[in-house]
Amino acid sequence: MKFYWIGPYDQKYNNGLFYNLTDDGPRRPWPLYQDLACPKCMKVPEDAAIARGVDPSFKLRLSGDIACTNDGVYLFSLRAQDFFQSQGFTGVDFVSIPNESRYVFAFPKIFANLEHPSEMLRYDGPGTKRKDYLSTQHLA
């Protein structure tokens, strides 16, 4: 079985599924999720927010066929969705977005359970002689 990594392009504008990022000022939850937000940090529990659906005032400012919100939710243009479905790609659920006719949400069906690594990458800084400036550090 082949697996593919789908990577979105950087976007000019910020888009948030759970947070309104289109106005000036601090990040704040969309009205549908305001009662879910932590009063200190404004964090919204994503599972509970997704269960409520998409806020009616949610708007996208995107270009391109594959994008990602600042929340980490993938968006496909209808053209990209048609391509993936016509080629028989599986493992992605496409969900329509209310008030948005150009894009759909793309949620993965398959998740990998990753163990906490015993090593991590550390940035050694530009003064090191290594070309990539990264080294591993044992955490145990």
Token couple for 11: 């976007």
DSSP string, 16-31: -SSEE-SSSSS-EE-G
Cα separation, 45 vs 67, whole angstroms: 22
What residue has token string 């404004």?
42
Structural domain count, the chain: 1
- Within-domain flag for 139: no
pLDDT band at 82 (very low <50, low <70, confident <90, very high): very high
pLDDT tens per residue across span 85-128: 998 888 889 999 988 889 999 988 876 666 655 555 555 555 55
Structural domain of 74: 19-108
pLDDT tens per residue across span 5-53: 666 666 677 788 888 887 666 788 999 999 999 988 888 998 899 899 8
Cα separation, 80 vs 10, whole angstroms: 17
Q: Where are the alpha helices (DSSP H) in the chain?
A: 46-52, 78-86
What's the chain's average pLDDT?
78
Query: What confidence score (pLDDT) does residue 111 get?
Result: 67
- Within-domain flag for 9: no
- Within-domain flag for 13: no
